[in-house]
Structure 1
Amino acid sequence: MNTVAGDTGVTINELHFDSRKVKLNDVFVAIRGSVSDGHEFIKKAENQGALAIVCEEMPEERINGITYIEVEDSKKALAYMAANYYDNPSENLKLVGVTGTNGKTTIATLLYNLFQKAGFKVGLLSTVKVMVGDEEFEAIRTTPDSLTINYYLKKMNDAGVEFCFMEVSSHGIDQHRTTGLRFVGGIFTNLSHDHLDYHKDFAEYRDVKKRFFDELPAAAFALTNIDDKNGAVMLQNTRAKKYTYALKSYADYKAQILENQFTGLLLKVDDQEIWSKLIGNFNAYNVLAIYATAQLLGLETLEILQIISELNSVNGRFQYTISEKEKITAIVDYAHTPDALKNVLETINSIRTKNEELITVVGCGGDRDKTKRPKMGHIASALSTKVVFTSDNPRTEDPEQIIKDVEAGVEPQNFKKTMSVTNRKDAIKAACQLAGKNDIILIAGKGHETYQEVNGKKLDFDDFKIVNELLKQLDK
């Protein structure tokens, strides 16, 4: 039961959970975060003119004229308040959420591109960027806070957006950032080892993802990858209409890979052949998810197939360049989980003729799940001909210690394949120097990111730009 002290009939100005932004007649929502507790800043918000305070614990000293509301969960309260404050914008468009460990950005972005090409006004909330029709905004995190989400959804309403595709992370679900939103559909991609620095164990990580589907309304659709052993779990308690997609199992939407090359994929989707510029088995799943979603949202089959064949890969997702003289292929990919790295390396190995070397540059992020580091080292060294271990986003950790954690997973027979170069640019340079004619370089972990995070600072760093420059120098 909520406890109220003061008048709830007052007219407020803005909502904030950051006390620094509070001005006269605003509401301050005190949220307990992993770094700081908003309850410590209630006094500051009062001094700055807050008219109402929403908190999980009533302050001992309360000021006359300020309304205090004690709630069980501030994050949940903020989500409902944010939706109401912006007139429940998710109800005025068709919002589809994409969740899973890998593939969220690719699926959400390509759905945005597909529906835009089909002539609709579309919105996108992704790791890489936020799009309101044609207008682009910088993304802060995979699933923004509930205030930011509703702010952009309201902008989409004002711009006449009909469809919005949104990445939904486990953090976002767990912290109620998506609470109070009305989704017309949810897509589950896959589940593998990630974010176990945040979730206690894999079961909790899985169950948080499942909660997204549990909360979908009966009128929505729930589309799941049934080839993933967790795919069926997502549908167990959902009220939404259930649909499945697969390459290997019986499913509502089925695809078969006919050709898999560096230039793209030839797929048979529901007895129709389709060529996609996307590369690799994992992208066959992404294409199938996009196809199924577009059908469930009412687009015509032939139009969907035609547009899919025109779609290009997403920045930092199997993004490749080939040097002019030596014909060295450099691939930049966001693969930062063991499963994603394995998928990318297996895809390259299934396409290459084995006459070429496969040189992998990889590291792991600091202040994140440490248990995946040796797994990354094991996979990189087992599936590549040469590996350069390097720094990723070390954040507040020692990059050399992170590399040692990664190296711990290398089996004795693979030691000779590996080397360590802490400076990431030097590591990419070393890979370029190791590469001979027609060889393949994979630079994994950062993908679309144009920075490196070191001790609280974001330094300019773009894997794709750097490898292009280095390959051009080699070609001289």
Structure 2
Amino acid sequence: MKLSKLIEGCKVINIRGDKDAEVESITSDSRNVVKGSLFIAVEGIFTDGHSYIGKAIEQDATVVVYDKPLIEEYFSRVTYVQVEESSEALAQIASEWFGNPSQLIKLVGVTGTNGKTTIATLLYRIFRLSGYPSGLLSTVGNYVNDEFYQTTHTTLDPISLNSYLRKMVDAGCEYAFMEVSSHAIHQKRVHGLLFAGGIFTNLTQDHLDYHSNMLEYRNVKKSFFDNLPKDTFALTNSDDKNGLVMLQNTKAKKYTYSLRSMADFKARIFEKHFDGSEIEINGKALSVQFVGVFNVYNLLAVYGASILLGLEEEEVLKILSVLKPVAGRFQTIRSPKDYTAVVDYAHTPDALTNVLSSINEVLSGNGKVITVVGCGGNRDKTKRPIMAREAVKGSDRVVFTSDNPRFEDPMDILNDMLAGLTEEEKSSALTIADRREAIKTACALAQPGDVILIAGKGHEDYQEVKGVKHHFDDKEEVEKIFSAL
């Protein structure tokens, strides 16, 4: 493809060389540069692509795109393109390279602290069950119709993202649903994509290792809605204090969902049990296989978006009643000794509170709650003592353990958590760094009618220690213990 075509939508400051150079491939990773490549130098969190421009040229890059002053000498065989912002240019070039696939499919983005995976996945399932070719880009995996692809990030880099969207378009997909993380918005990974609609779930403390404060975190989420075009929809949770903030400057058509007040999409809960809930959506009663108020919000967002995308109400309600929870999201496993284990991804204070509240509401005092929980290493440290407090507040017994310690000492993480407790609370809690032993201990403590919550890792089938991912699956561990009872 000609360079002039690729950079058509970019904010170009200066071009030195052949603007009609033929480009054979695009990359922002110098290790992937081959003869004829266009290399885009982007400043990341840990490394700056500008430091690898020399390496890219050594490997026969044809074009270099950058946004900082260059210190390298210029080579006549290379075309240099200076842009206002490399991260934006990367997204724009990636979209152009793959034929602007987001313009050929109805793409819906889901953003917020909690609920993104469940909402995006259930939307994908509803549209597949309704007979529509559809795609999914999510934390638990990517799908092109029924073909599964492993994922490593909540939201992919622009080249991978557009590559998947191209696959979906080529496979005949009419709809695509994707999680949109705050990191992705801030790093311009979704820049240049055309969305048919956006959904806001909620905003609670998370990612303060990346964002300087909650206001910045909120405003990054809001910018996603600010950039939606006028012929799209913006669907927000009006019960969240930031829900209506998301709609303040959007040009999209505004819609709300709520359990507590008037909204376009309204739900009520009648009964809760560990097999599901009896609810009503916009006056229509149905039974669903989801537990907890937070899950009813998720279902309401799914219902609202499905209607806004043109599905028939009766069809949506019928499918909602047969859908099952997403992997690692309030997955229940019954033990032969008549107690229940719940595996959930809850890794923020609010998510943990929501899951514990849901368990306590169903138990209604008939049984104890035993929680196994830790916090990830090299992530927001400020939430660790809060997570510990929420765990103790909503549980009868707590076993603090290791999550993904990454490059931190597990005991340092656990001490950060314990710092949020009183001496009395510390003395009643158990601290077992080995996650397998922690889960075994919780199961040994459980009596008939009790519930064990194993929080934080959910769908993950690994534990990351010092840069190495070791196989570890909370659900597998519980099933092993239960099969031996």
Query: What range is the shorter-chain TM-score in?
Result: over 0.9
Residue among 398, 412, 417 paired with 1:401: 412
TM-superposed CA distance for 1:409, in Å, is 1.2
Secondary structure in structure 1 of the residue aligned to 2:102 = helix
TM-superposed CA distance for 1:140, in Å, is 1.3
Aligned residue number for residue 47 of structure 2: 36
Instruction: Provide the C-alpha distance between the structure 2 equivalents of 1:215 and 1:115, rounded to a whole number of angstroms.
Output: 25
Instruction: Tell me the matched-pair count.
Output: 473
Aligned residue number for residue 171 of structure 1: 183
One-letter code aligned to 2:387: M
One-letter code aligned to 2:14: T
Residue among 288, 297, 303 paired with 2:309: 297
Aligned residue number for residue 46 of structure 1: 57
TM-score computed with the length of structure 1 as normaliser: 0.98
Secondary structure in structure 1 of the residue aligned to 2:164 = helix
TM-superposed CA distance for 1:413, in Å, is 4.3
Instruction: Provide the C-alpha distance between the structure 2 equivalents of 1:249 and 1:86, rounded to a whole number of angstroms.
Output: 44
| Residues 1:349 and 2:360 are matched in the alignment | yes
TM-superposed CA distance for 1:453, in Å, is 0.7
Aligned residue number for residue 441 of structure 1: 452
Aligned residue number for residue 392 of structure 2: 381
Contact 1:123 1:132 in 2 (8 A): yes
Contact 1:89 1:157 in 2 (8 A): yes
Secondary structure in structure 1 of the residue aligned to 2:44 = coil
Aligned residue number for residue 86 of structure 1: 98
Contact 1:30 1:55 in 2 (8 A): yes
Residue among 9, 27, 36 paired with 2:20: 9
Secondary structure in structure 2 of the residue aligned to 1:182 = coil
Aligned residue number for residue 71 of structure 1: 83
Instruction: Provide the C-alpha distance between the structure 2 equivalents of 1:315 and 1:111, rounded to a whole number of angstroms.
Output: 15
Aligned residue number for residue 159 of structure 1: 171
1:223-238 matches, within 5 Å, as 223-238=235-250
Aligned residue number for residue 152 of structure 2: 140
Q: CA RMSD in A?
A: 0.9
Aligned residue number for residue 365 of structure 1: 376
Contact 2:344 2:457 in 1 (8 A): yes
Instruction: Map Cα deviations across residues 242-274 of structure 1 (whole Å, 9 max, x no partner).
Output: 000000021111000011111111111111001
Greater Cα shift, 232-241 or 401-410: 401-410
Secondary structure in structure 1 of the residue aligned to 2:244 = helix
1:409-448 matches, within 5 Å, as 409-448=420-459
Contact 1:378 1:411 in 2 (8 A): no
Instruction: Provide the C-alpha distance between the structure 2 equivalents of 1:216 and 1:310, rounded to a whole number of angstroms.
Output: 32
Instruction: Provide the C-alpha distance between the structure 2 equivalents of 1:404 and 1:116, rounded to a whole number of angstroms.
Output: 46
Aligned residue number for residue 247 of structure 1: 259
TM-superposed CA distance for 1:438, in Å, is 2.2
Greater Cα shift, 282-291 or 49-58: 49-58
One-letter code aligned to 1:35: F
Contact 1:381 1:417 in 2 (8 A): no
TM-superposed CA distance for 1:311, in Å, is 0.3
1:207-356 matches, within 5 Å, as 207-324=219-336, 326-356=337-367
Secondary structure in structure 2 of the residue aligned to 1:2 = strand
TM-score computed with the length of structure 2 as normaliser: 0.96
Residue among 105, 112, 128 paired with 1:100: 112
| Unaligned residue ranges in structure 1 (runs of 5+) | none
Contact 2:124 2:136 in 1 (8 A): yes
TM-superposed CA distance for 1:203, in Å, is 0.1
Contact 2:54 2:72 in 1 (8 A): no
TM-superposed CA distance for 1:412, in Å, is 4.0
| Residues 1:462 and 2:473 are matched in the alignment | yes
Aligned residue number for residue 9 of structure 2: none
Instruction: Provide the C-alpha distance between the structure 1 equivalents of 2:370 and 2:482, rounded to a whole number of angstroms.
Output: 14
Instruction: Provide the C-alpha distance between the structure 1 equivalents of 2:19 and 2:463, rounded to a whole number of angstroms.
Output: 46
Contact 1:105 1:167 in 2 (8 A): yes
TM-superposed CA distance for 1:416, in Å, is 3.9
Q: Name the % identity.
A: 52
Aligned residue number for residue 121 of structure 1: 133
Contact 2:340 2:450 in 1 (8 A): yes
Instruction: Map Cα deviations across residues 418-463 of structure 1 (whole Å, 9 max, x no partner).
Output: 1100011111111111112221100000000000011110010000
Contact 2:138 2:151 in 1 (8 A): yes
One-letter code aligned to 1:230: N
Contact 1:382 1:414 in 2 (8 A): no
One-letter code aligned to 1:208: V
Secondary structure in structure 1 of the residue aligned to 2:382 = helix
Secondary structure in structure 2 of the residue aligned to 1:370 = coil
| Unaligned residue ranges in structure 2 (runs of 5+) | 1-11
Contact 1:385 1:417 in 2 (8 A): no
TM-superposed CA distance for 1:414, in Å, is 2.7
Contact 1:247 1:256 in 2 (8 A): yes
Residue among 186, 195, 198 paired with 1:183: 195
